[in-house]
Structure 1
Amino acid sequence: MMSNTPYKTSNPYYEGSESTGQKRAWSQDTPYSREENRDIVRRQVGKLIIIPMDTPESAQYVTDMVERYHIGGVLVCRRSIRRKKISGDINGITLTAQFLDSVEISRIVRDLQSAARRAGHTHPLFIMIEQENGMFAPFGNGHLGTQFPGALAVGAFRSSEILYDIARASAQELQSLSVNTNLAPVLNIEEQSPEGLSSRMFGDDPANVWRCTSAILDAHRSTNLVSIVKHFPAPRQGSGGILDTRNIATEPRYALFRKAFENGVDGVLLEPTMWAASTDTTFGGKDSLPKNLIRKHLQYEGVLIGSVDKMSENAAGRCVTGGQLSIRGLVNGCDMLILCKHPHDVTDALEEIYTAVETGSITRASLEQSWERVRRVKERYLRWEEAVDPPPIHLTLPSLMRRNRELSFRSYEMATTVIKDSRNLLPLTKLQRQNVLRQNGTCALLTPVAPPRFPGQVGVDPFEYLGRAINARGVTVCHAPYTHEGLQETHTGLLKKANLAIFVLSLDTDPEYRSQIETMRSLTRQRLAFDTPLVVITACSPRDMLHEVSFLESVISCYEYSREALESAASVLFGEVKPTGVLPLRKLLPPTSGIPNDNFQRWEVHEWEKRRDLYASADLWKKCFGWNPNWNLNSNILSDLLDRPGNAKHYVIKDPRSHGKILGLCATYTIHAGKSLVGSMALLMVDPDFRNSGIGTALHDEAFQYMRAHPEIDSVQLGSIFPRFFPGLPELLPKEQKEWFKRRGWKIEDNFIFDLYQNITNWRPPQQDVFADLSRQGITFGVCNPSVFDNLIQFEDKHFSSYPGWVEKYRALKDTNDYADAVLAFGVVPDGQSAIVGAALVFSGAGSNKISKEVPWPKAIGDRVGGLACVGMGSEFRGRGVGFGLVCAAIIELQSRGLTGCFVDWSTDRQVYEDLGFETHGKYHNMAWRKV
């Protein structure tokens, strides 16, 4: 028989794991006693409440709420990191924005965390921000944080690796302010609905949206930043106003949230219609959507968050107080609530929640379940030591911003999209400008009067950056803003004189700005009379003007009107940057737009299988690299390189119109480097007839995502060590292919790696007495045997253990009984004993040495060609000619085996080998390793 007495404990609030007795007590859901447990109620409820910090001056109010009401989280708002300063004269007042610096913001946050600890909070506060990047993000404006492109812009460029780098850089900048939680990204799909927040979404293709989302979540996880995705939508209403939940499993807009849940996302922000319904209609919350759809159907056990604001009030369907809405949220399944209310309304709402708990309307068991979910997230990410006294960071916010500036501009350039260019007007190269602008021609630049990007920016025209960028290219610009009233006589006069017209759109949700489309229509009609080429630039989401594309000739989208976006649009306009952006709203394009859909195809990536894909891979290799006779590989050699279960994973994209034909292949390997693994993107090739269609990007992203998710891989290289196609980017590749890799975050270093070759049929050492001279120094040469093999491994471990795969190749000689494939140099060490002072590996396709199947080029050159690899001396014997003699001894060993050619593998100092008669066989750019 269960007792009906209120639960009491010496601990003022529940902490740690539950005992059986505690679980039994909580399951009773008996009402709290107002007299005895009011403080317990306050603590229990406060943990689940988040309040905004609207201004820097409100920090004291937030501190009081943390101390008195035990609030569990603080939302840093746009205005809270800016302090407005008012100045002016008798004629009026001018507003300017004065930004707090990172030190001040971090201090405010640390003070809040210290207040929480003094008040007895068991875990640090969530310090949240809605940082989606882009135009109107609270942080990241070029003054406080790097300006990075927003969701729609990054949905337009094809590299999820650049997006990962952006998200990671942005997260590091947030953490320099002691922010630990980001309410981002938005997982909703852009649909044909007027309520769509287009610029905050990645587009209308679910596959692309998840590609972007997974990169951001991976970046957040790698920097220990809590991720809260948004906004989980309510099911659509069926007939009779009944919500339809039958197709939840198949609806694209839920598939993304399902994937996020399966990937362990920390929390999700719910649309108000998910939780704001009256508890009378949900039978006390027992059949609410969060509990049935998210908890039961999707089996998600992360944190569910609701925001009590104007949207939730509208979703409630009738006039309710903030307290009533908050009670609905907690009863219907929200674990935490953001109370976006006036301070007095927040305290009133809290009092109403306390009463609901005391009377049993909100059960103690549900509060404890919510707190347990919140506790799991806080314990995973937050530590008091770091919250109250964060360790000194290696890079301050200003230094991070300097480091990230190049990434910002590069990402905006990659996002810029040429939507249409039916007359081949673009790019405006020097020759094209002469044809279009003629002698001393002018450009009419018509831009909208757009809302300021940040509070307090008054009298600043953001499109001035575009005008200056065009003028810097030697084009005279006549810049005239336009309003919702449309084109005036001033604009008409400019158009009559201009040789080129550029019209800019920056649509907003305000109907006033939708009049820009009418102005554009008017301009297209007038332009016909002037016969002036027209370029339309959408510095916003192009969603609302896509139905006008059919009537336009040249359309560029840069998606935002930040300085970086506008200057990138100018770079694309004048051909200084090749546009690689892909319109992320392809489903909204009308059939009459004249834009081929092939440009927007998303390719399906498959894992490579030898039985199915080997011969098609050989065909693709020949098509991609057959132009160079030095790169001749057949199917047998490719099989040795690709068929490596255990340390290899390869990906292919197939032609959907042709059975078995492979359009692209990416090969990856893992190799031990000390105690860790390193990854190699060893090969990426795409059929020349299908390039610039997203195949390479899809393969690159799939491979990099696999290596980034591997728990043991620390770094990744472009190229490979063992097995090897190329050690880096071949120097012979066209410039545009090298630029393609650079745009995806790979850095080309200044030095080169060389492969060398020579025919050794009649080779003789260039210095006849080379061995005699070394013998007088006590240096002799010979091949390895079992009696000295252990000494060889000790030598290699001592000097070359940091070289990935190097020592393993020597150890492998024992497995195949190929001891003699190690040519050794012996010398007298300081203690007077003879010891190994240098070693080199020799091999050929006729032998059993495994390295012969990992370096393909000797076998590709000829059957009687051998190889030379892993040549190294002890540090105390370098610079004494030992290496020169060791290579000579290795060549003589190859000659004794009847081989006619010697291939030297991976050398950074080719002079030594050229002195011996070798010539360059391959030259490769050394690529910087990337941390994952």
Structure 2
Amino acid sequence: MISGHLVLPPGNRGGHRHSQVTVVRDYQACIPFTRILGEGDIVLLLTPVITPCEQNGCDPFEPFGRALAARHPLIRHVPYTARNGITSTHVAFIKRAKLVIFVISNPPNSRQLSQVEIAEASQTIGDEKLHIVVACGNADDSGLIEASFPTIIQSGPSLEDLHVVATVLFGESSGAGTSAVKVQELMMPPKYWPPEEWDGLDVTPVHDLWNHCLPDQFHLEKFPLRNLLQRDGYAKHFIVRLPETGEIIGFCATYTTYVDKDEERLIGSLAMVIVKSPYRRRGVGRSLYDHALRQLKRIRGVDRLRLGSTYPRLLSGIPARSPSEEWFQRRGWTMDRLGPGRGQYICDWLLKINDWPNGGVSTGPPGLAFRSATFNDFETVSDFIEKETTRKDYTGWYDQYMNLAHDGRFNDIILGMERSRIIAAALVYTSRDGSPLALDIPWARTIGPDVGGVTCICIAGWSFIH
């Protein structure tokens, strides 16, 4: 339950005063409503459930709804709560509405779902609807300025202010706070850039952007990058273009991967968000991020989201000590490093065999032997990997083992055996031997053609990604 109070500030409980209404931005060009609404168009007003106003014992947003209804007959006023968020009732109204007015009365509260998050859910459901957010308070304090809402109105907390909002929405007033100086100040924060789906036909501009944005150790040649990105059926990527020239200034890569062998549940990967440096802190990354997450959530079977990608491996997550970490934390990603899915470090190790004792050859513990898998091991390996990766929640590993087995590349699967029982498994590859793993993990190739790797090291009760 949202427990915010809308109370008139001292000294403003009656009498004339200046309005505190400001149009922060209107990228949809939907104000005034008289230009876009027809007689039969429904306007949905979503307002928080709050303590009844002491002045008249009613919902203080009811007068706001009546002020809107006096100007357009088809106003549908539906409250929402933090506990329930957007329910099936809200969804039905959103889908019928021409536009949605979403009122926010409180800044974020760590103890409950924020009103901004509920507004984002409403916008996701009604992706093609016009959305107007009305902030009863400082829009910046609510986290709205950096959000991707294209139309935001900032209002004072009084009933009089909400009445002025109604007049602004229908073009009867511009609001007392819309001076040129104030609008300029509020328009400086990030804007919304409409993303489009990347067709994948020409990888050159994305390749150029990739090498422009990432440190040298993550640079790739054009062919390996194209192979990583062009994955029919489970890859979808988005770009933002500069309107004046059509230049690609932002790119976002996403994938979907089956969680287990049942192939019913999917994990959606936000694998990469990069923006050309002159256009950062202007809303390009946020626009790509919001659009990509909306698209992933729409895919049937997706029940989890992750940062980074395991296979194909663009990056397994955010590079350590990256300034982007705080950016993602502000959007709800947990980075406490206490467990899987909470920002744990993942290591890619570069090991030189000649630096190991005996040139990399060592004697294992008594009773433990290592060998390549064979066709006869298929079912046993499948059961072992399914059990261990499910227990450790490592998505994508099972597919890598099965892809090699189905291709007949059993020599690429190394088993650790204790008597006749499999207690460990790993996958090996080199850059030039045609292994599909070398295509999924391109980093060995950046060192040299004879460099190989070991991945998906899975030990009963313990495992490594590399």
Show the counterpart of 1:813: 404
Q: In the alignment, does 2:318 pair up with 1:732? A: no
The answer (yes or no) to whether the contact 2:164–2:175 under 8 Å persists in 1 is no
Show the counterpart of 1:604: 194
Q: In the alignment, does 2:256 pair up with 1:666? A: no
Structure 1 pair 450/646, CA: closer, same or farther in 2 (3 Å)?
closer
Show the counterpart of 2:394: 803
Show the counterpart of 1:215: 121
The answer (yes or no) to whether the contact 1:681–1:719 under 8 Å persists in 2 is yes
The answer (yes or no) to whether the contact 1:641–1:853 under 8 Å persists in 2 is yes
Taking the aligned partners of 1:168 and 1:753, their CA distance within structure 2 comes to: 40
Show the counterpart of 2:152: none
Map 1:369-380; keep pairs closer than 5 Å.
Answer: none
Taking the aligned partners of 1:508 and 1:717, their CA distance within structure 2 comes to: 40
Show the counterpart of 1:132: 47
Q: CA deviation at 1:848?
A: 2.3
Show the counterpart of 2:129: 256
Q: CA deviation at 1:835?
A: 2.5
Taking the aligned partners of 1:687 and 1:701, their CA distance within structure 2 comes to: 18
User: 1:299-348: CA deviations, max 9, x gaps?
Assistant: xxxxxxxxxxxxxxxxxxxxxxxxxxxxxxxxxxxxxxxxxxxxxxxxxx
The answer (yes or no) to whether the contact 1:131–1:182 under 8 Å persists in 2 is no
Show the counterpart of 2:175: 544
Amino acid at match of 1:414: G
Show the counterpart of 1:348: none
Taking the aligned partners of 1:837 and 1:800, their CA distance within structure 2 comes to: 13
Taking the aligned partners of 1:701 and 1:683, their CA distance within structure 2 comes to: 13
Q: CA deviation at 1:790?
A: 3.1
Show the counterpart of 2:441: 855
Taking the aligned partners of 2:444 and 2:92, their CA distance within structure 1 comes to: 55
Q: In the alignment, does 2:429 pair up with 1:843? A: yes
- 1:702 alignment partner, SS class: helix
Show the counterpart of 2:143: 414
User: Number of paired residues?
Assistant: 358
Show the counterpart of 1:170: 82
Amino acid at match of 2:199: E
Taking the aligned partners of 1:509 and 1:854, their CA distance within structure 2 comes to: 58
Show the counterpart of 1:630: 217
Q: 2:163 aligns with which of 500, 506, 509?
A: 509
The answer (yes or no) to whether the contact 2:46–2:103 under 8 Å persists in 1 is no
Taking the aligned partners of 2:221 and 2:258, their CA distance within structure 1 comes to: 28
Show the counterpart of 2:243: 656
User: 1:394-427: CA deviations, max 9, x gaps?
Assistant: xxxxxxxxxxxxxx9998441258xxxxxxxxxx
Amino acid at match of 1:864: D
Q: CA deviation at 1:798?
A: 3.1
Taking the aligned partners of 2:259 and 2:138, their CA distance within structure 1 comes to: 35
Q: 1:770 aligns with which of 345, 363, 366?
A: 363
Taking the aligned partners of 2:80 and 2:411, their CA distance within structure 1 comes to: 49
Instruction: Provide TM-score, normalisation by structure 2.
Output: 0.65
- 2:456 alignment partner, SS class: strand
Amino acid at match of 2:363: V
- 2:452 alignment partner, SS class: strand
- 2:254 alignment partner, SS class: strand
Taking the aligned partners of 2:156 and 2:424, their CA distance within structure 1 comes to: 73
Q: 1:822 aligns with which of 386, 392, 413?
A: 413
Q: CA deviation at 1:822?
A: 1.0
Instruction: Provide TM-score, normalisation by structure 1.
Output: 0.34
Amino acid at match of 1:215: A
The answer (yes or no) to whether the contact 1:198–1:543 under 8 Å persists in 2 is no
Q: 2:331 aligns with which of 738, 744, 750?
A: 744
Structure 1 pair 819/874, CA: closer, same or farther in 2 (3 Å)?
same
Map 1:80-99; keep pairs closer than 5 Å.
Answer: none
Taking the aligned partners of 2:81 and 2:279, their CA distance within structure 1 comes to: 33
Structure 1 pair 181/414, CA: closer, same or farther in 2 (3 Å)?
closer
Q: In the alignment, does 2:370 pair up with 1:781? A: yes
Larger Rg: 1
User: 1:328-369: CA deviations, max 9, x gaps?
Assistant: xxxxxxxxxxxxxxxxxxxxxxxxxxxxxxxxxxxxxxxxxx
Taking the aligned partners of 1:715 and 1:812, their CA distance within structure 2 comes to: 23
- 1:869 alignment partner, SS class: strand
Show the counterpart of 2:12: none
Q: CA deviation at 1:671?
A: 0.6
Show the counterpart of 2:229: 642
Taking the aligned partners of 2:379 and 2:459, their CA distance within structure 1 comes to: 17
Show the counterpart of 2:465: 906
Q: CA deviation at 1:599?
A: 5.7
Map 1:27-42; keep pairs closer than 5 Å.
Answer: none
Taking the aligned partners of 1:652 and 1:641, their CA distance within structure 2 comes to: 16
Structure 1 pair 851/450, CA: closer, same or farther in 2 (3 Å)?
closer
Show the counterpart of 2:58: none
The answer (yes or no) to whether the contact 1:131–1:139 under 8 Å persists in 2 is no
User: 1:144-174: CA deviations, max 9, x gaps?
Assistant: xxxxxxxxxxxxxxxxxxxxxxx99725279
Taking the aligned partners of 1:670 and 1:200, their CA distance within structure 2 comes to: 33
Q: CA deviation at 1:780?
A: 1.0
Taking the aligned partners of 2:415 and 2:460, their CA distance within structure 1 comes to: 12
Map 1:879-894; keep pairs closer than 5 Å.
Answer: none
Q: 1:698 aligns with which of 273, 276, 287?
A: 287
User: 1:268-317: CA deviations, max 9, x gaps?
Assistant: xxxxxxxxxxxxxxxxxxxxxxxxxxxxxxxxxxxxxxxxxxxxxxxxxx
Amino acid at match of 1:170: A
Structure 1 pair 682/871, CA: closer, same or farther in 2 (3 Å)?
same
Q: CA deviation at 1:712?
A: 1.1
Show the counterpart of 1:723: 312
- 1:610 alignment partner, SS class: coil
The answer (yes or no) to whether the contact 2:46–2:102 under 8 Å persists in 1 is no
Show the counterpart of 2:207: 618
Amino acid at match of 2:291: E
Map 1:230-309; keep pairs closer than 5 Å.
Answer: 256=129
Taking the aligned partners of 2:446 and 2:138, their CA distance within structure 1 comes to: 43
Q: CA deviation at 1:874?
A: 2.5
Q: CA deviation at 1:855?
A: 1.4
**What fraction of aligned residue pairs are identical, expressed as a percent?**
23
Taking the aligned partners of 2:156 and 2:411, their CA distance within structure 1 comes to: 79
Amino acid at match of 2:335: I
Taking the aligned partners of 2:102 and 2:423, their CA distance within structure 1 comes to: 66
Taking the aligned partners of 1:853 and 1:844, their CA distance within structure 2 comes to: 10
RMSD: 4.4
Taking the aligned partners of 1:685 and 1:140, their CA distance within structure 2 comes to: 46
Q: 2:348 aligns with which of 739, 755, 769?
A: 755
Taking the aligned partners of 1:131 and 1:182, their CA distance within structure 2 comes to: 11
Taking the aligned partners of 1:169 and 1:868, their CA distance within structure 2 comes to: 50
Q: CA deviation at 1:217?
A: 6.4
Amino acid at match of 2:179: E
Taking the aligned partners of 1:796 and 1:622, their CA distance within structure 2 comes to: 36
Q: 2:269 aligns with which of 658, 663, 680?
A: 680
Show the counterpart of 1:119: none
Amino acid at match of 1:615: T
Structure 1 pair 793/416, CA: closer, same or farther in 2 (3 Å)?
closer
Taking the aligned partners of 1:641 and 1:754, their CA distance within structure 2 comes to: 20
Q: Which runs of 5+ in 1 are unaligned?
A: 1-77, 83-128, 142-166, 191-196, 202-210, 220-228, 230-254, 260-407, 418-447, 454-505, 515-541, 556-588, 829-833, 884-904, 908-932
Q: Which runs of 5+ in 2 are unaligned?
A: 6-43, 54-78, 106-116, 132-136, 147-154, 168-172, 338-343
Taking the aligned partners of 2:459 and 2:80, their CA distance within structure 1 comes to: 41
Taking the aligned partners of 1:546 and 1:807, their CA distance within structure 2 comes to: 59
Q: CA deviation at 1:782?
A: 1.3
Q: CA deviation at 1:619?
A: 0.6
Structure 1 pair 138/797, CA: closer, same or farther in 2 (3 Å)?
closer
